[in-house]
Amino acid sequence: QEPVRQGLFRIFEVFADTIVICTLTALVILLSGVPVSYGQAAGADFAMLETQCDLAEARAALLAANALSFPAVVSFTFEPGGRTLMGNPPEACATLAEALGALAVGMDLDHSFGGNGKPDVVLGLPMRPRTQKDIESYVKRTKLPFIIKGVLSVQDALKCADIGVKGIVVSHHHG
């Protein structure tokens, strides 16, 4: 029951974000008539392909970046069982990132803790916080630099550095 609810939420989330929000944003930009620079022409060094839940979506995003000759970093979201929503193991995610020339690979930590300091709950499912040992095991599965998205404290950033994480993204979905 819970995996079904979580899957339905992810489908809605992707639809709402990708189809509705991105399409409306693109239409506003296109209809405005204002020329818009993007990518390297706008000063960006790389694309951040974050919160990937499946190898197919990550592959499509990396291939698109490659087609534009634009360097990319890809990060995956792993569920409490240690796999992506679509069941992909971390090794497969790292292998894909390496094979398609990503600058770095990583994982999201968002939704680990709620405002009360306890594990966050999404659609009734408790999100398991990652231990230093968990993260270190992911770092060792790739030859690429490893990044962590969702670091919220100096202490956590230092712990990440101690186990070989090469970059952090400070963020949290709860604001």
pLDDT of the residue at 20: 77
pLDDT of the residue at 99: 97
The 10s digit of each residue's pLDDT in 4-45 is 777 777 777 777 777 777 778 878 888 888 887 777 777 888
Residues 6+ positions from 128 with CB-CB distance below 8 Å: 80, 112, 119
pLDDT of the residue at 148: 92
> What is the pTM assigned to this prediction?
0.72
The 10s digit of each residue's pLDDT in 38-68 is 777 778 888 899 888 889 999 999 998 888 8
The 10s digit of each residue's pLDDT in 64-81 is 888 888 899 999 988 777
Q: What angle (nearest 5°) sits at the alpha carbon of residue 55, between those of residues 50 and 61?
A: 50
CA distance 153 to 175: 14
- Cα 35 versus chain centre, distance: 29
- Look-up of token digits 């060094």: 45
Q: Which of 170, 109, 82, 94 lies closest to 139, judged by CA?
A: 94
- Look-up of token digits 């209809």: 31
**Residue 162: band (very low, low, confident or very high) from pLDDT cuts 50, 70, 90:** very high
